[in-house]
Structure 1
Amino acid sequence: MQICVIDRVDGKGHDVAPLQRVSSSFDVQRISPHHVHDIRPNTEVLFIRAAYFGELGEVARRLPRLRWIHISMAGTEHLPKKVFRERGIILTNSAGVLDQAIGEYVAGSVLLWSKGLLRSAHDTSQALRVHREPLSNDQLRVLVVGAGGIGTAAARMLRGMGVAHLAGARRDPAALDPVFDEYVDSNALLSHVGNFNVLVASLPSSPATANMFSSTVIAGFADPCVFVNVGRGASVDHHALARMLSKHTRSAAVLDVTEPEPLPSGHPLWGLPNLVISPHMAGDTPDRHERYALLFEANLGRFSQGEPLLNRVI
């Protein structure tokens, strides 16, 4: 079986043990995204470690024997899935690998606000000492919009911290994890968001989730509250969020994603003291490359034996 690994250009995770084991057992070609035209024409399996590699449609058309593609990320909205379906190519992703780490990021973001640490950090830079009363965890009421794998991991982390009430919104209410106390219809957010002082967005990118946190929904946020987005930036009206944060100075937001990324210079979100923006890195722990490769290695064993693959998208 001919396998091609399209590696990261920064070299991170290049020598993790699972890839070494795969290379010792199979015929593996490893190339950078800059050399995709050198992929061997008899390639049957592609492992895409270069996350947002964008030429897969063209590559697939040039590989008549290609049967399976695995990507080191959860999102697949950027991929030419129609081409894969037409060719009968299997697509698997790495959903679940980063859930725990992103859940930890959400918990830290909530505490940054509820314990007053964000305000204290600003006060420290100005040599100020202003007493405040932090919230206890049992005073937190949390709504997770996009209560799939990542949202559920965040909810479990928050539950473990003693959060009093957890509500989840997702497309299929029957799939809501028992960690949640309440189901919320994502099509009726305006009727619910004011009941929560913690709002977590972990939505995928799709036409259905675009602008879900519209200006109208954001105007209905409780004051004070914290808004954490670890999903996709396109789900949020960022100008409306900036207006809310400017008006509600006791509220805060932590954004790991924006639309676009990065935000342009002069955007109204920049410079707000009650906002933190991180560069889309909530789940990027150093061990993620080995975890991605372990999933690929496990699926390769299944593929070799003709067994169903984990995380199959197509």
Structure 2
Amino acid sequence: MGHLLAILPFPEPEGFRVTIQQKFPALHVTWVHQPYGITNWDTANNIDEELFKDATILTTLSVIPKPEQAPKLKFIQLLPAGVDHLLDEPIFKKDDIQIATTSGIHAPQIAEWVVLQILSFSHHARYLADSQSRGEWISHSKLTESQGPVRDMTITRVGILGYGSIGRQIARVCCSMGSEVFAFTASPRDTIESRVDPGFCLPGTGDPEGLLPTKWFHGLHKASVHQFLQQNLDVLVVCLPLTEKSTHLIGEEELSVLAEQNRVRQGPGTLIINIARGQIIHQEALIATLKKPVEESGLRGAALDVTEPEPLPQDNELWYLLNVVLHPHVSGLTTEHQNRYRAVLEENLTRFMEGRELMNLVEKKRGY
């Protein structure tokens, strides 16, 4: 008998336990509804520590036991796609415990959010909404003079920093609208086989075979990142996982590279979009750059779904910059979140029971 312990921030879905136990008769299931905001077992307020003693499989958002509390644990299926919140947990370092993420379940809705921001900036939606609130009819010439020309997607080059499941769906949508996509990965993707993504992908979405980018770049050294940023990018989308190497990967130097590129090509400025983690961009450097005129900064603006810290303090300047769209980490929301999570969980339970490699298995040495 195995024991699946589910500690999740939503009530048990109807039929969940019946479905799991029909597919996996040898698996006993316990569900604990633990509200959002709980980061580890020590701060959990309604979990009996005894439940961990017999748990062989744990599925959770962020409540993680200490190794001695869960001596039989062999597999953790996370609800989120990232593991940066686990890197310092002792259980993360245990080689005999496999950890898998739900990478891929957030790709469609986050890609929609990204494209929404690209179109909103390109078509000056915020400026026009303000004009509507004043009952002011803006002429074409005044709009162009004030905000710059409208650029459609067919002349837009999108650089995707981190070509995982989310980056691949962003590429699919952007390419379908006529854009050119450049991809950046930590490791080289020099062969057809290396460009394949074996993770979870909804049918008809993403770029599982890695066929869409016009060019590929790789490496996390400054020279590699700078080479990527020198490619006349109209949009830079940050999709990298947060690790020690990716922390503040985009800082003052990198923003200066973008600025220089835009001065050389006399472009409209790069739009930076971050749907990964706030710590990947040096926030103070970004703010300082965004406060400059676009001719000097090289930035058209920024669309940020993540910040450092979260929640962002009300007095932070990002809230009030006119060239910034700031959302409270909501780009991954969708009615289909739970259904997609269950699809990954059930697939990985099958693989675990059969002794096969898990989908979205975390490479602990890489930190994702």
**TM-score if structure 2 supplies the norm length?**
0.76
Tell me what 1:193 maps to: 229
Q: Does 1:31 align with 2:32?
A: yes
State which of 225, 230, 236 in structure 1 corresponds to 2:281: 236
Q: Does 1:142 align with 2:158?
A: yes
| Conservation of the 8 A alpha-carbon contact between 1:144 and 1:199 | yes
Amino acid at match of 1:77: D
Q: Deviations over 1:108-155 (max 9, x none)?
A: 111111122122123323333333342121111111111222112211
Percent identity (aligned): 25
Gaps of 5+ in 1: none
Paired residue secondary structure (1:154): helix
The alpha carbon displacement at 1:99 in A equals 1.6
Q: Deviations over 1:27-73 (max 9, x none)?
A: 2111134333241522211111xx233xx142x32122211111111
Pairwise mapping of residues 16-95 of structure 1 onto structure 2 (< 5 A)? 17-23=15-21, 25=25, 26-33=27-34, 34-36=45-47, 37-39=49-51, 41-48=53-60, 51-53=61-63, 56-58=64-66, 60-79=67-86, 80=88, 82-86=90-94, 88-95=96-103
Q: Deviations over 1:203-247 (max 9, x none)?
A: 111111111110222233334231110111101122222233222
Tell me what 1:105 maps to: 113
Amino acid at match of 1:179: L
Amino acid at match of 1:69: I
State which of 162, 165, 168 in structure 1 corresponds to 2:183: 168
Amino acid at match of 1:63: A
Q: What CA RMSD, in Å, does the superposition of the two structures yield over aligned residues?
A: 2.3
Tell me what 1:247 maps to: 292
Tell me what 2:358 maps to: 309
Tell me what 1:214 maps to: 251
The alpha carbon displacement at 1:192 in A equals 4.5
Structure 1: distance between partners of 2:52 and 2:286: 49
| Conservation of the 8 A alpha-carbon contact between 1:239 and 1:269 | no
- 16 and 277 in structure 1: CA distance in 2 versus 1, 3 angstrom threshold: farther
Amino acid at match of 2:20: V
Structure 2: distance between partners of 1:280 and 1:169: 23
The structure, 1 or 2, with the larger RCO (C-alpha pairs under 8 Å, 6+ apart) is 1
Paired residue secondary structure (1:105): helix
**TM-score if structure 1 supplies the norm length?**
0.88
Structure 1: distance between partners of 2:313 and 2:89: 30
Structure 2: distance between partners of 1:212 and 1:18: 41
| Conservation of the 8 A alpha-carbon contact between 2:155 and 2:178 | no
- 30 and 145 in structure 1: CA distance in 2 versus 1, 3 angstrom threshold: same
Hey, which bits of structure 1, 4+ residues long, moved more than 6 A? none
Number of residue equivalences: 305
